[in-house]
């Protein structure tokens, strides 16, 4: 009987060992799955870098200005910053958190969505910057004085909304939620505000601002 009892005890011990081993394997598998899921989702930057938004390729919609000494571009288009001419070849290489890595004119740069997050999706925002058709084709159809103003990154009376955007970019959406409004509030610098007053014909009828600002932004 003692031998039988000893055999039963050994069997029970092995059974418990096997069960413990199975549980250990199950736990390890669960941990591995969690770890794999973590690697796939990552932080917010990683998940957004796999955004469904398309990696657009084409041309810059308008004259784009980037912060001096930096590769950073956003909704601000201050006159004192270096200008990238409209129609420069551009493409999106990846997405991040409210931004996109881009190549413009062969140079890596970044476009950030700092002031339009509540009004536009990242996809809508980037579709403003990079367009499929070279705007220089349209530019060539404008009157000579309008062409000169756009190439200089300035505005003038008689411009259409499209021509203003080509020259100085889109107005800040936070301050100008409706593009067909009779007035656009614009910024030449952080303190240099000017307003574009639109006529019923859809063209600039007046430009309001202090003399210094107008001297910098208005085509003479």
pLDDT for the residue numbered 14: 43
pLDDT for the residue numbered 6: 40
Question: CA-to-CA distance for 157 and 201, rounded, in angstroms?
Answer: 12
pLDDT for the residue numbered 19: 46
- Selected residue with higher pLDDT from 131 and 1: 131
Of 44, 58, 51, 177, give the one whose Cα is nearest residue 127: 58
**Total number of residues shown for the chain:** 220
- Domain extent for 184: 56-217
Residue 119 belongs to a domain: yes
Section 170-195 average pLDDT:
95
pLDDT for the residue numbered 131: 98
For residue 158 the two structure tokens come to 């008689």
Is residue 25 over pLDDT 50? no
pLDDT for the residue numbered 41: 32
pLDDT for the residue numbered 48: 43
Residue 161 belongs to a domain: yes
Residue 2 belongs to a domain: no
Residue 17 belongs to a domain: no
pLDDT for the residue numbered 53: 84
Residue 38 belongs to a domain: no
Counting residues of the chain whose pLDDT is more than 70, the rounded percentage is 76
CA dist 153 → 136, 171, 177, 206 (Å): 14, 14, 23, 17
DSSP-derived secondary structure for 20-77: HHHHHHHHHHHHHHHHHHHHHH-SHHHHHHT-SS---EEEESS-EE--TTS-EE-S--
* Number of domains comprising the chain: 1
Section 166-182 average pLDDT:
95
Longest CA–CA separation in the chain, Å: 114
Q: Which residues contact 18 (CB under 8 A, 6 or more apart)?
A: none
Residue 4 belongs to a domain: no
Section 90-107 average pLDDT:
97
Q: What is the pLDDT of residues 44-87, one digit of tens each?
A: 343 444 456 899 999 999 999 999 999 999 999 999 999 999 99
Is residue 213 over pLDDT 50? yes
Residue 64 belongs to a domain: yes
Residue 19 belongs to a domain: no
């Amino acid at each position: 009987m003692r031998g039988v009892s000893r055999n039963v005890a050994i069997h029970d011990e092995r059974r418990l060992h096997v069960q413990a081993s199975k549980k250990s394997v199950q736990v390890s598998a669960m941990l591995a799955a969690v770890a794999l899921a973590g690697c796939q989702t990552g932080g917010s930057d990683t998940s957004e870098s796999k955004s469904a938004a398309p990696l657009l390729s084409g041309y810059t919609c308008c004259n784009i200005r980037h912060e001096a000494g930096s590769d950073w571009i956003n909704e601000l288009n201050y006159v004192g910053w270096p200008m990238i001419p409209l129609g420069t070849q551009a493409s999106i290489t990846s997405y991040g958190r409210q931004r996109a890595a881009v190549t413009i004119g062969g140079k890596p740069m970044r476009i950030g969505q700092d002031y339009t997050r509540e009004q536009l999706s990242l996809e809508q925002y980037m579709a403003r910057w990079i367009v499929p058709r070279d705007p220089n084709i349209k530019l060539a159809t404008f009157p000579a004085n309008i062409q000169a103003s756009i190439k200089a990154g300035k505005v003038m009376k008689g411009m259409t909304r499209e021509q203003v955007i080509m020259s100085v970019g889109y107005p800040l959406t936070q301050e100008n939620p409706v593009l067909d409004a009779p007035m656009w509030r614009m910024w030449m610098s952080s303190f240099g505000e000017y307003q574009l007053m639109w006529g019923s014909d859809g063209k600039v009828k007046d430009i309001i601002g202090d003399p210094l600002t107008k001297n910098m932004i208005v085509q003479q």
